[in-house]
Amino acid sequence: MSMMGKTWARLGGPYRASTQRSCVRCTSDGECDVRGQDLVCDAETALCVHKPLLPLAATDLTGTLGVVLGAALAAGAGLGGGGLFVPLFVLVMGFAPSEAIPLSKATIFGSALANFVVAARRRHPAASRPLIDYAVVLMLEPMTLAGSILGVLLNTVLPSWLILGLLIVLLTATTLRTYAKAKAIAARETAVSKRDSVLSDEANASGASEVAGLSPELAAIRAAEARIPMGKVASVGAVWLAVLVLSMIKGGHGARSVVGIEPCSAGYWLVLAAALPGAWLVTVWIGGCLRREHAAKEAAGYTFLPSDIRWTAHTTKVIPRYSFGAGVAAGLMGIGGGMIKGPLLLELGMEPSASTATSGFMIMFTSSATVAQFVVLGQLALPYAAWFAGWGFVAALCGQYLLRAAVARTGTQSLIAFLVAGVIGLSTALLTYTGAVSVVKELASGASMGFSTPC
């Protein structure tokens, strides 16, 4: 076979990542005819595997349509959409869960990249500064990573029926809480709408004198705030690199360790033992920097918005605890952290547009590291991944455009919060269904329904 032929066989051939399929042996495609699954016989392994991307099948087109709709909805809500994509890939396209998760991450990355392209150029609706709050990203991500490590360990210990129950309870409560928050935001918008024109006139009349009367310290703070904080962006990049390196060494999301560390080996526990306190130390350092920055603003007479997070000694201790819990839940239940951190940012009082932009950036942060890990380890069906990532990117751009148009037309930020609640609610329904199907299959096969050991 030519080099080009080998390359195409690797990229365009049937997906042969290690999975938990039934390992049905075959000599022809006809022996792999399983209803609801596009399987073909792989000539090299003589096993039934998922078909290559080309030629496109009806299930591919149906799945693509679902991805487009799901990515458009999730993009506006600042969510990854994994709760929509994984059931779609499993139920509609016949991928095994171990195949669907990497494809879901690739789709999420494409969607999140589009979100970032849009959000990075947008400004906060009530202040002259970037829409993405990079300080929030720095405070949440390290402890989210630490929490996800513990959550993944718990996932190996708890029985699937208990995980499903916890998933239903958590996401149902999150949906209801987010819906209530959206209603509260809508009520607040209605209450202040009559004062908008008066406040706008007063601001226009006093704006010039206010700027002219700024102290040098406050003027410097506002000038720095108006720009993208490259120091914080560089810190986010450093944390991203650390996450990628840790993921490569430890393995996770179904991917192997690049250095051959086996689960429950001495090296495995050593990596975990270093990761947890490491994330805590990074968070403590970042919290100290943000507290000093906050104190400088107060000393200069800075006027905070009601939606601003005040980086006091209290918040720099409490918020990382929330993010740790979000990480535990995400790792335990196999869901994206965006479904928890997005509503969390709304609960903290952030403007809906700022919370979704910030949540979306964090999703790009984590999904890119995961996709890079899968690519390096050869556990990603690249043609399918590129196909769905591309459609996710396009759909997210369209979703962002439509949502911005709707918000501009209605003048209400609460629309975004309602969308967040709706997407989480839909994800809850889909994940509940796929989880229930999985539990029923385990019962039918006589699998153990009790607790396990992490090893």
* Phi and psi, residue 42, nearest 5°: -80, 120
Give the residue-averaged pLDDT of 200-213.
46
Give the Cα separation of 367 and 347 in Å (integer): 24
Give the Cα separation of 74 and 338 in Å (integer): 10
Q: Tens digits of per-residue pLDDT, 178-203?
A: 888 888 888 887 776 655 544 444 44
CA 105 to chain centre: 9
CA 103 to chain centre: 14
Report DSSP state, residue 31. G
Give the Cα separation of 252 and 124 in Å (integer): 36
Asked if 84 and 427 touch (Cβ cutoff 8 Å), the reply is: yes
Give the Cα separation of 98 and 100 in Å (integer): 6
> What are the residue ranges of helices labelled H in 195-254?
196-212, 216-226, 230-250
* Phi and psi, residue 131, nearest 5°: -70, -35
Burial code (b: 16+ CB inside 10 Å, e: under 16) for 337-355 equals bbbbbbbbbbebebbbbbb
Nearest to 335 by CA among 83, 66, 143: 83
Residue 327's contacts (CB-CB under 8 Å, 6 or more residues apart) are: 143, 144, 145, 146, 147, 148, 149, 150, 151, 337
Give the residue-averaged pLDDT of 19-35.
58
Give the Cα separation of 397 and 353 in Å (integer): 15
Question: How sure is the predictor about 445, in pLDDT bands with cuts at 50, 70 and 90?
Answer: confident
| Residues of the chain above pLDDT 70, percent | 79
Question: Is 142 a residue whose pLDDT tops 50?
Answer: yes
Q: Tens digits of per-residue pLDDT, 349-379?
A: 888 888 888 888 888 877 787 787 677 666 6
Residue 55: asked if its preceding bond is cis (omega within 30°), the reply is yes
Q: Tens digits of per-residue pLDDT, 285-320?
A: 999 999 999 999 888 888 888 888 899 999 999 999
Q: Which pLDDT does position 159 carry in this prediction?
A: 79
Q: Which pLDDT does position 10 carry in this prediction?
A: 34
CA atoms lying within 13 Å on the CB side of residue 93: 30
User: How far is the first Cα of the chain from the last one, in angstroms, to the nearest whole number?
Assistant: 42
Give the Cα separation of 32 and 41 in Å (integer): 6
Q: Which pLDDT does position 15 carry in this prediction?
A: 38
Question: Is 264 a residue whose pLDDT tops 50?
Answer: yes
Give the Cα separation of 33 and 27 in Å (integer): 12
Residue 179's contacts (CB-CB under 8 Å, 6 or more residues apart) are: 418, 421, 425
Asked if 308 and 168 touch (Cβ cutoff 8 Å), the reply is: no
Question: How sure is the predictor about 336, in pLDDT bands with cuts at 50, 70 and 90?
Answer: low
Largest CA distance in the chain: 82
Question: What single letter denotes the amino acid at residue 41?
Answer: C
Question: Is 151 a residue whose pLDDT tops 90?
Answer: no
Q: Would you say the C-alpha torsion 344, 350, 352, 354 has a positive or negative sign?
A: negative
Q: Which pLDDT does position 284 carry in this prediction?
A: 92
* Phi and psi, residue 40, nearest 5°: -135, 165
Asked if 393 and 107 touch (Cβ cutoff 8 Å), the reply is: no
Question: Is 174 a residue whose pLDDT tops 70?
Answer: yes
Mean of per-residue pLDDT scores for the chain:
77
Residue with tokens 């496109």: 56
Give the Cα separation of 339 and 332 in Å (integer): 13
CA atoms lying within 13 Å on the CB side of residue 209: 5
Residue 454: asked if its preceding bond is cis (omega within 30°), the reply is no
Residue with tokens 């980086």: 311
Q: H/E element holding 354?
A: helix 352-376
Give the Cα separation of 229 and 2 in Å (integer): 50
Q: Which pLDDT does position 37 carry in this prediction?
A: 60
Distances, alpha carbon 417 to alpha carbons 55, 175, 379, in Å: 40, 11, 36
- Among 138-142, 309-313, 431-435, name the one with the lowest average pLDDT: 431-435
Q: Which pLDDT does position 7 carry in this prediction?
A: 32
Residue 7 or 152, more confident: 152
Nearest to 449 by CA among 165, 168, 161, 163: 161
Q: Which pLDDT does position 285 carry in this prediction?
A: 92
Give the residue-averaged pLDDT of 39-52.
70
